[in-house]
Homo-oligomer: A and B are copies of this chain.
Amino acid sequence: LDIFETIHNALSGEIEKINSILLETIKVPEYLVNDITSYVLKRRGKKIRPIITLLTSKMLSGNINDASIYLSCAVELVHIATLIHDDVIDCSSIRNGKMSPNEIWNNKTSILAGDFLFSQAFKFMVKAKNLEALELLASASAIIAEGEITQLRLQNEKRIITINEYFDVIEKKTAKLFSSASACGAISCDINHNTIKKIEEFGFLFGKIFQISDDILDYNGLSKELGKDIGLDFFEAKVTLPLIILYSKCDEDEKKFLETRFFQNDKTQNDLKYVIDLLHKYSIHDEIYHIMNKIKCDAINCISTLYNNNTYKDLLIELIDHLIHRKR
Contact = CB atoms under 8 A, between A and B. Distances in A.
B134 A122 contact: yes
A130 to B, nearest CB: 9
A129 interface: yes
A116 B142 contact: yes
Given A122-B138, A126-B138, A112 B149 contact: yes
- Chain copies in the assembled complex: 2
B89 A111 contact: yes
A129 B129 CA distance: 11
B108 A145 contact: no
Chain A contact residues, majority secondary structure: helix
Contacts of A108: 89, 152
Contact of A131 (B118, B126, B135): B126
A153 B144 CA distance: 30
A163 to B, nearest CB: 17
B32 A153 contact: yes
Interface string A122-160: 110110010100110011011011111110110000000
Given A30-B153, A112-B152, 16 more contacts: A30-B150, A32-B150, A33-B145, A33-B149, A108-B152, A109-B149, A113-B149, A115-B145, A116-B142, A118-B118, A119-B138, A119-B144, A119-B145, A122-B122, A122-B141, A123-B135
11 contacts: A29-B168, A32-B150, A115-B145, A119-B142, A120-B138, A122-B134, A123-B138, A125-B138, A126-B138, A129-B131, A131-B131
